Amino acid sequence: MFSIALFLRASSLELILLFCTLCIALAGEVINTAIEDVCNRIQPDFEEAIGTIKDMAQGFVLLSSLPCIALFLWIVIPRIA
C-alpha cells in the first residue's frame, strides 16, 4: 500500500496518515497473535468460549484495518480516475 501511494505521489500528510493507520493495523495483528497464543496455552483443545475470544480478537484486526483501507482508497482512487 505504502509503495503504491509513493508511486502515485501522495502528499506528505497522506503518507503520514497512511503510515499511522498501517501501524495501527499491524498493532492489531500483534495483539491478535498474542491473544491467540495465550488462548492456545490456556486451552489447547477446542472450547467454544476460547473460539469466541479468538473471533473477537480477529474482529479487532478487521476493525483496525478498515481506516487503513479507507485512507488508501481515498488516496488512490482520485489519482487513477
37-49: pLDDT as tens digits? 999 999 999 999 9
Note the pLDDT of residue 71: 96
33-80: pLDDT as tens digits? 999 999 999 999 999 999 999 999 999 999 999 999 999 999 999 999
- What integer is the mean pLDDT of 11-23? 95
Q: Mapping DSSP to helix (H, G, I), strand (E, B) and coil, where does residue 72 land?
A: helix
Residue 76: closest CA among 14, 12, 13: 14
Domain spans in the chain, listed from the N-terminal domain onward: 2-80
The torsion angles phi and psi of 23, rounded to 5 degrees, stand at: -65, -40
Top CATH class of 2-80 equals mainly alpha
Residue 34: burial class (beta carbons within 10 Å; 0-12, 13-18, 19+): exposed
pTM value surpassing 0.75: yes
Please name the amino acid found at residue 19: F
